[in-house]
Amino acid sequence: AQSVTQLGSHVSVSEGALVLLRCNYSSSVPPYLFWYVQYPNQGLQLLLKYTSAATLVKGINGFEAEFKKSETSFHLTKPSAHMSDAAEYFCAVSEEGGGNKLTFGTGTQLKVEL
């Protein structure tokens, strides 16, 4: 069964600082991994996804994530935080034969301070 763990329900960074949001997954087959962002009172927007091509994936708004099979991780990073990055971030996994469903982590609320 697929599952996702996001360490740190709240992360606070200063504007201009590195953003690191952690995601570890469990999957019995090679996974597909996704990061979604949710702004207040809005739906989920895809930031980036890993689908077994390049292990370093670049997404929108300057975010990127690296798939590390040995560590079963897919951490999200951004070199320099901006105030507009304040939102909730969800890591999700799906797998072939799993009915295409997404299994989400518990989310990380990112706060960006001046």
Partner 1 sequence: EPEVTQTPSHQVTQMGQEVILRCVPISNHLYFYWYRQILGQKVEFLVSFYNNEISEKSEIFDDQFSVERPDGSNFTLKIRSTKLEDSAMYFCATNSGGAGETQYFGPGTRLLVL
Q: How far is the CB of 74 from partner 1 (least distance, A)?
A: 14
- Which pair of tokens denotes residue 51? 């689908």
Q: How far is the CB of 46 from partner 1 (least distance, A)?
A: 5
Measured CA to CA, the distance from residue 54 to residue 70 in angstroms comes to: 15
- Which pair of tokens denotes residue 91? 């890591």
**Measuring CA to CA, which residue among 14, 6, 12 is closest to residue 76?**
6
**Measuring CA to CA, which residue among 7, 114, 109, 23 is closest to residue 65?**
23
- Which pair of tokens denotes residue 79? 């070199």
For position 35 contacting partner 1 by CB under 8 A, the verdict is no
Residues 47-106 interacting with partner 1 (rule: CB under 8 A):
49, 51-52, 90, 92, 94-106
Which part of the chain contacts partner 1 (CB under 8 A), choosing from 45-53, 56-64, 66-74, 75-83?
45-53
Measured CA to CA, the distance from residue 17 to residue 13 in angstroms comes to: 6
Measured CA to CA, the distance from residue 99 to residue 86 in angstroms comes to: 32
For partner 1, give the closer residue by CB, 18 or 60. 60
Q: How far is the CB of 98 from partner 1 (least distance, A)?
A: 6
- Which of 19, 21, 34, 81 contacts partner 1 by CB under 8 A? 34
Contacts with partner 1 by CB under 8 A lie at 32, 34, 36, 42-46, 49, 51-52, 90, 92, 94-107
